[in-house]
């Protein structure tokens, strides 16, 4: 029954999605005229981008709105992905491809006197993430929407995303703020009506039966901003809800009434500060109060929202886990566990044991690294002050938990100590990984090797307690829509033509790429394949020329390493390898050099602002590039570029252009890696260590198509022990490396002395095993050179690699989560063009 008014009047006026050119033109021009209040003669590219984006947004809103209504009616079980980071990148191109409107928009925009590609370049990246963990969350949202799964993301709407990286004249990284919201963000919908009050500080008074009352302190408001997540070729449009902090209206009435106006204003400032900035640290935690505030603010708002939605279903509270699954993206949202307990016990009057049962059937926990510096711990005194009720709940959880451990392993005090949520010491600390594990139904790592390391190292005791079935693996994936179709349209088209199936078929079932195998030997196909790579290399060369003012030899091999700067990722090994190559070239005669395979090496990546050694490595890269790019003896054979301000958008240009890319972490340290998958999907080959998802990539494409080197994971511990107790000088282990270090020390690349702190990490403890892996690394690079000489063989490898990437679609990963973890099913609204 029609809810109100005259059905016909409504229906005639309800706007559908604008899908034909006249409607699109009208929509764009309307936005120029009204939303932007501009005219054709003062419309610049930014304005034209905004008008186009607003018109696409209208389409998304229509679909989004229908999806939400449909989901509310169907009331399926839903999954929620709680992530402090969503590294979304740009939206317009992706939305047009998903809606199937790119060509029509391109034509329309031409007629309006602009070029779509130029407009796409006007968009600022939404860079609310640091690296792999945040980009994975973005790929998972894409796959969830594309597979019509009822999945929402919950995160924070930071005013400032990851910092903008500048390179100073001396080569150092500088950080500038990223005011990404400056020009308004067309992709979000402010929902000022959706808001929750979030409490901090105050005191908690225990009552009978495990309950308590938490009162006093400071309250701030969490306001929702909804970001529409379109699925590929479906009308299903999911939601990413980001919270912004605001002072609660009427702010601190007590100080206000006491005439202390300044204190009242102060509290409103601190409320806004909560969501002001993304912490730029990757894999490290600093125990900052504001970060803990962010974590609680976000988990409390998200849980309040989830609980409200559940209550609208009018089901008994015991059925909560039948309707709600919550994935914890690393330990950052772990406070959701005591928060759900607080809601159930204190607000819903659920007995403690039942509440614990509900909680432990709701949460799932993904670990993204075994590096010890990334395991979050919060000082008990800080938590007691900021979240007094949660601290009590954590103690209560821990008490019951330790009793259970003691029952199973009587008298094993060491075990109790290791497994306790509370770490003894001054101050005591709350171990978030232990809490996350204890409060979740399942724990997973992000690639086979990593999940095995989770089971045998950081979670060993927990595996003994709970049994191994709680600890599983979901190998990461990437969305082929952005990471092939969007970033490499030439290759996408070639694939569609060759497979003779519609583009949307293989983009939704990436295993279909295997059909390319039969063309690997076909010379005509090889030529086309190589031509696509060549034009992508030209696109990158053009980018380098316009940003750095340097010409790039596109006939050279393109060797790329792009990722966060971190000692464990060993950009250090790469730069020392480049220096070695340079010194070798210098020592050759002009005749000998002519036989050398020319190579261009690209680096990009940000270092955490406080990470001294990582920043020093950037400085070294930049300064080595200066020297070798100007050396007339060698520059024909070797050049190198550090591209500043790495981003999702820059990755979209770099990845399709690579012949070879480097994934060279110390074995056992890179949980998975996801750019390795992106490079391979675009026909780039890998040089890498036997680590993370490199291993599974090699399993798929065959070891002969991957250039592996270096020590294996089981050897790492022993080598580190050796470094500490029986050190062997670098000269003995690797004379080549010793020479490289000496040249850097001596000031060949500027400023003798500047790099000593970094060089000493290699000479002294060498925690990341550069000295152990250098020789085999150099050998692997020679094998790469050799393989590249036979261009036809290389192209075959490239084709075979891309063809075997089916497993690494994030659609597969999300199906795994949906079936094995969340127990949710897709709910179809309808495809883009039909009912
Ligand atoms: C990263 C891992 O280092 C990377 O190997 C993995 O591919 C990615 O997560 C996605 O799973 N971890 C982080 O970015 C991080 O901050 C706490 O971990």
E-strand stretches of 649-804: 660-663, 685-689, 706-709
710 & 764 share domain: yes
757 & 680 share domain: yes
Instruction: Read off the pLDDT of each residue in 219-234 and give the average, rounded to a whole number.
Output: 96
Of 59, 227, 223, 60, nearest to 138 (Cα)? 227
Can you give the pLDDT at residue 249? 64
Helix axes 45-74, 21-30, angle to 10 degrees: 110
Q: Is residue 125 part of a domain?
A: no
Q: How far is the CA of 132 from the centre of ligand 1 (A)?
A: 5
Active site residues per annotation: 368, 563-564, 569, 674, 678
Confidence of residue 2 (pLDDT cuts 50, 70, 90): confident
Confidence of residue 255 (pLDDT cuts 50, 70, 90): low
Q: What is the pLDDT of residues 416-453, one digit of tens each?
A: 999 999 999 999 999 999 999 999 999 999 999 999 99
The string of DSSP letters for 297-324 reads HHHHHHHHHHHHHHHTT---GGGHHHHE
Q: Is residue 462 part of a domain?
A: yes
Q: What is the pLDDT of residues 730-787, one digit of tens each?
A: 999 999 999 999 999 999 999 889 999 999 999 999 999 999 999 999 999 999 999 9
Q: How far is the CA of 9 from the centre of ligand 1 (A)?
A: 53
Which ligand 1 atom is at minimum distance from the Cα of 134? 14
Residues with CB under 6 A from ligand 1: 131-133, 136, 282-283, 330, 368-369, 374, 446, 476, 670-674, 692
Q: How far apart are CA 246 and CA 268, in angstroms?
A: 7
Q: What is the pLDDT of residues 145-166, one digit of tens each?
A: 999 999 999 999 999 999 999 9
Is the pLDDT score of 286 beyond 90? no
Which ligand 1 atom is at minimum distance from the Cα of 282? 16
For 1, how many CA atoms within 13 A lie in the half-sphere containing its CB?
2
Q: Is residue 597 part of a domain?
A: yes
Which ligand 1 atom is at minimum distance from the Cα of 673? 7
Q: Is the dihedral of CA 454, 455, 461, 463 positive or negative?
A: positive
Can you give the pLDDT at residue 510? 98
Range of the domain at 465: 287-471
CB neighbourhood size of 159 (10 A): 19
Residue nearest to atom 15 of ligand 1 (CA): 283
For residue 562, the SS3 value is strand
Is the pLDDT score of 833 beyond 70? no
Cβ atoms of 680 and 701 within 8 Å: the answer is yes
Confidence of residue 272 (pLDDT cuts 50, 70, 90): confident
Counting ligand 1 atoms within 8 A of each CB, the residue from 281, 375, 646, 672 with the most, and so the one to mutate, is 672
For residue 537, the SS3 value is helix
Q: Is residue 630 part of a domain?
A: yes
Q: Point out the domain boundary residue: 452, 471, 490.
A: 471
Give how many domains the chain has, as a whole number: 2
Counting ligand 1 atoms within 8 A of each CB, the residue from 280, 281, 285, 368 with the most, and so the one to mutate, is 368
For 701, how many CA atoms within 13 A lie in the half-sphere containing its CB?
33
Q: What is the pLDDT of residues 569-594, one digit of tens each?
A: 999 999 999 999 999 999 999 999 99
Q: What is the pLDDT of residues 608-638, one digit of tens each?
A: 999 999 999 999 999 999 999 999 999 999 9
Backbone angles phi and psi of 561, in degrees to 5: -130, 110
Residue 200 Cα to chain centre, angstroms = 29
Q: How far apart are CA 814 and CA 139, in angstroms?
A: 10
Mean pLDDT of the chain: 95
Can you list the alpha helix ranges (DSSP code H) found in 637-684? Answer: 648-654, 675-681
Contacts of 625 (CB under 8 A, 6+ apart): 639, 640, 641, 642
Q: Bridge-partner residues for 242, per DSSP?
A: 155, 225
Express as a percent the part of the chain with pLDDT over 90. 92
Is the pLDDT score of 835 beyond 70? no
Q: Is residue 31 part of a domain?
A: no
Q: How far apart are CA 309 and CA 306, in angstroms?
A: 5
358 & 435 share domain: yes
Please compute Rg for the chain using Cα positions: 28
Instruction: Read off the pLDDT of each residue in 320-340 and give the average, rounded to a whole number.
Output: 98
Of 64, 296, 345, nearest to 197 (Cα)? 296
555 & 525 share domain: yes
Of 687, 603, 585, nearest to 640 (Cα)? 603
Element (H, E) at 464: helix 460-466
Can you give the pLDDT at residue 210? 86
ipTM score of complex: 0.99
Q: Is residue 833 part of a domain?
A: no
485 & 444 share domain: no
Q: How far is the CA of 673 from the centre of ligand 1 (A)?
A: 7
Q: Is residue 74 part of a domain?
A: no
Instruction: Read off the pLDDT of each residue in 481-486 and give the average, rounded to a whole number.
Output: 98
412 & 460 share domain: yes
Of 730, 727, 750, nearest to 739 (Cα)? 730
462 & 485 share domain: no
Can you give the pLDDT at residue 741? 98
Can you give the pLDDT at residue 265? 65
Can you give the pLDDT at residue 1? 81
Instruction: Read off the pLDDT of each residue in 259-280 and give the average, rounded to a whole number.
Output: 80
291 & 401 share domain: yes
Q: What is the pLDDT of residues 174-188, one digit of tens each?
A: 999 999 999 889 999
Instruction: Read off the pLDDT of each residue in 2-12 and give the average, rounded to a whole number.
Output: 88
Residue nearest to atom 9 of ligand 1 (CA): 133
Q: Is residue 99 part of a domain?
A: no
Q: How many residues does the chain have?
A: 835
Counting ligand 1 atoms within 8 A of each CB, the residue from 369, 375, 651, 667 with the most, and so the one to mutate, is 369
Is the pLDDT score of 834 beyond 80? no
Q: How far is the CA of 331 from the centre of ligand 1 (A)?
A: 12
Question: Residue 210 gets which letter from DSSP?
Answer: G
Is the pLDDT score of 11 beyond 90? no
Residue nearest to atom 13 of ligand 1 (CA): 133
Q: How far is the CA of 671 from the centre of ligand 1 (A)?
A: 6
360 & 411 share domain: yes
Place of tokens 């031409």: 110
Which ligand 1 atom is at minimum distance from the Cα of 446? 11
Q: How far is the CA of 742 from the centre of ligand 1 (A)?
A: 34
Residue nearest to atom 4 of ligand 1 (CA): 673
Q: Bridge-partner residues for 221, per DSSP?
A: 197, 246
Q: What is the pLDDT of residues 506-553, one digit of tens each?
A: 999 999 999 999 999 999 999 999 999 999 999 999 999 999 999 999
532 & 456 share domain: no
Can you give the pLDDT at residue 253? 65
Counting ligand 1 atoms within 8 A of each CB, the residue from 87, 128, 133 with the most, and so the one to mutate, is 133
Residue nearest to atom 14 of ligand 1 (CA): 133
Q: What is the pLDDT of residues 667-706, one digit of tens each?
A: 999 999 999 999 999 999 999 999 999 999 999 999 999 9
Is the pLDDT score of 208 beyond 60? yes
**Predicted TM-score (pTM) above 0.90:** yes
Q: How far is the CA of 328 from the centre of ligand 1 (A)?
A: 14
578 & 635 share domain: yes
Of 640, 655, 528, 541, nearest to 582 (Cα)? 640
635 & 761 share domain: yes
- CATH assignment at residue 738: 3.40.50.2000
């Amino acid at each position: 029954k029609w809810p109100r008014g005259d059905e016909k009047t409504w229906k005639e006026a309800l706007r559908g999605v604008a899908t034909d050119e006249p409607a699109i033109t009208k929509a764009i021009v309307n936005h120029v005229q009204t939303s932007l209040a501009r005219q054709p003669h003062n419309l610049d590219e930014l304005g034209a981008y905004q008008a186009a984006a607003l018109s696409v947004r209208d389409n998304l809103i229509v679909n989004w709105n229908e999806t939400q209504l449909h989901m509310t009616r169907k009331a399926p079980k839903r999954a929620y992905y709680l992530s402090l980071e969503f590294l979304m990148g740009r939206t317009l191109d992706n939305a047009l491809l998903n809606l199937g409107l790119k060509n029509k928009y391109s034509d329309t925009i031409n007629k309006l006197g602009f070029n779509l590609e130029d407009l796409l370049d006007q968009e600022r990246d939404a860079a609310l993430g640091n690296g792999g963990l945040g980009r994975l969350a973005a790929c998972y949202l894409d796959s969830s929407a594309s597979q019509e799964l009822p999945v929402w993301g919950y995160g924070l709407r930071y005013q400032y995303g990851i910092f903008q990286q500048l390179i100073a004249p001396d080569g150092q990284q500088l950080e500038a703020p990223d005011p990404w919201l400056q020009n308004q963000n067309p992709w979000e919908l402010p929902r000022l009506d959706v808001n929750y009050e979030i409490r901090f500080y105050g005191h908690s008074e225990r009552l009978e039966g495990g309950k308590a009352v938490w009162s006093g302190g400071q309250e701030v408001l969490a306001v929702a901003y909804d970001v529409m997540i379109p699925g590929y070729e479906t009308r299903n449009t999911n939601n990413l809800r980001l919270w912004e902090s605001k002072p609660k209206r009427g702010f601190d009435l007590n100080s206000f009434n006491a005439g202390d106006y300044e204190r009242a204003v102060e509290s409103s400032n601190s409320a806004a500060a909560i969501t002001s900035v993304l912490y730029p640290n990757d894999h490290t935690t600093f125990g900052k109060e504001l970060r803990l505030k962010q974590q609680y603010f976000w988990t409390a708002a998200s849980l309040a929202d989830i609980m409200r939605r559940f209550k609208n279903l009018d089901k008994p509270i015991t059925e909560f886990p039948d309707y709600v699954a919550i994935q914890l993206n690393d330990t950052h949202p772990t406070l959701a566990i005591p928060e759900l307990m607080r809601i159930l016990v204190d607000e819903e009057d659920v007995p403690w044991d039942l509440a614990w049962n509900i909680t432990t059937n709701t949460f799932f926990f993904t670990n993204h690294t075994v590096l010890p510096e990334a395991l979050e711990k919060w000082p008990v005194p800080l938590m007691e002050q900021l979240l007094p009720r949660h601290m009590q709940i954590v103690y209560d959880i821990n008490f019951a938990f330790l009793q259970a451990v003691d029952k199973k392993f009587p008298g094993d005090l060491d075990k109790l100590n290791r497994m306790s949520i509370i770490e003894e010491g001054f101050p005591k600390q709350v171990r978030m990984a232990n809490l996350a594990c204890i409060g979740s139904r399942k724990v997973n790592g992000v690639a086979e090797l990593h999940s095995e390391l989770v089971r045998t190292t950081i979670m060993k005791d927990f595996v003994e307690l709970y049994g191994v079935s709680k600890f599983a693996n979901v190998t990461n994936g990437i969305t082929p829509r952005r990471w092939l179709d969007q970033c490499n349209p030439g290759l996408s088209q070639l694939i569609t033509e060759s497979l003779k199936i519609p583009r949307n078929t293989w983009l939704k079932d990436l295993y279909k790429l295997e059909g390319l195998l039969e063309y690997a030997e076909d010379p005509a196909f090889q030529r086309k394949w190589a031509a696509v790579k060549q034009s992508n290399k030209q696109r990158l060369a053009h980018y380098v020329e316009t940003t750095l003012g340097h010409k790039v030899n596109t006939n050279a091999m393109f060797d790329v390493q792009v990722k966060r700067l971190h000692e464990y990722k060993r950009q250090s090994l790469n730069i020392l390898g480049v220096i070695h190559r340079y010194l070798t070239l210098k020592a050759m005669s002009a005749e000998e050099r002519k036989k050398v395979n020319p190579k261009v090496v690209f680096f990009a990546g940000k270092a955490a602002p406080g990470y001294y050694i990582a920043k020093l490595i950037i400085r070294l890269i930049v300064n080595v590039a200066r020297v070798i790019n100007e050396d007339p003896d060698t520059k024909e054979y070797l050049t190198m570029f550090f591209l500043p301000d790495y981003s999702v958008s820059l990755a979209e240009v770099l990845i399709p252009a690579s012949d070879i890319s480097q994934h060279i972490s110390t074995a056992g340290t890179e949980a998975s890696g996801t750019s390795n998958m992106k490079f391979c999907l675009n026909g780039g080959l890998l040089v890498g260590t036997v680590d993370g998802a490199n291993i599974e990539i090699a399993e798929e494409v065959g070891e002969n198509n991957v250039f592996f080197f270096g020590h294996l994971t089981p050897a790492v511990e022993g080598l580190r022990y050796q470094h500490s107790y029986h050190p062997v000088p670098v000269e003995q282990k690797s004379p080549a490396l010793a020479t490289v270090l000496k040249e850097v020390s001596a000031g060949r690349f500027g400023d003798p002395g500047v790099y000593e702190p970094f060089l000493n990490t290699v000479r002294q403890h060498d925690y990341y095993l550069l000295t152990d892996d250098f020789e085999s690394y150099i050998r692997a690079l020679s094998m790469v050179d050799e393989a590249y000489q036979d261009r036809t063989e290389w192209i075959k490898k490239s084709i075979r690699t891309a063809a075997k990437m089916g497993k690494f679609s994030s659609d597969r990963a999300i199906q795994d989560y949906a079936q094995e973890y969340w127990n949710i099913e897709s709910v179809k609204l309808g495809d883009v063009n039909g009912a």
